[in-house]
Structures are given as structure tokens and as C-alpha cells.
């Protein structure tokens, strides 16, 4: 595999020294990712939308019961 002379780095923004990450070149990535703005996405966790009984995803986040099996949902109220 060809080696790039400008290694990518990993670390934190806290001022700590950062070490090169092997196998990654600086600026490497999908061209499509660099051509568009980050518009956000899905929440990190959809667990509160999964029925505890049947395991199916409940589309209506405010549904009081699972529309598939009828199990009452805990809405945290």
C-alpha cells in the first residue's frame, strides 16, 4: 500500500499532543462527503421508540400504547 507523507492525526481539542493514525491520509474521505454541508441526522438513540414487548419501532413518539402489540409505553411523564 502506498504511504502518504502527511499523516492524519487523532487526539482531543484539549491541547494534548496528537499521534499519527496509521493508514489514513490527511484529508482522506469520500468526495461526496466534502461536497455537501452537514445537515444533521437522526438522534443518537432511538431506544425510547422501541417497544419493550415486541421490539418493533413505534413511529409515533407520543403513542401511549404500541400500535403493533398494544403494550402500554413508558413516556417518561
Is 67 a residue whose pLDDT tops 90?
yes
Is residue 56 within 8 A of residue 68, CB to CB? The reply is yes
Which residues sit opposite 25 in a β-bridge? 7
Per-residue pLDDT tens over the stretch 39-65:
677 777 888 899 999 999 999 989 999
User: CA angle 17-21-39, nearest 5°?
Assistant: 95
Q: Which residues contact 54 (CB under 8 A, 6 or more apart)?
A: 66, 68, 69, 71
pTM exceeds 0.95, yes or no: no
Per-residue confidence (pLDDT) for residue 69, from 0 to 100: 97
Per-residue pLDDT tens over the stretch 4-45:
554 455 555 556 666 665 655 555 555 555 566 766 777 778
Amino acid at each position: 500500500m502506498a504511504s502518504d507523507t502527511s499523516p492524519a492525526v487523532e487526539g482531543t481539542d484539549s491541547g494534548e499532543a496528537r499521534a499519527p493514525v496509521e493508514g489514513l491520509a490527511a484529508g482522506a474521505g469520500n468526495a461526496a462527503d466534502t461536497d455537501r454541508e452537514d445537515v444533521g441526522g437522526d438522534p443518537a438513540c432511538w431506544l425510547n421508540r422501541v417497544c419493550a414487548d415486541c421490539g418493533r419501532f413505534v413511529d409515533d413518539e407520543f403513542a401511549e400504547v404500541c400500535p403493533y402489540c398494544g403494550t402500554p409505553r413508558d413516556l417518561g411523564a
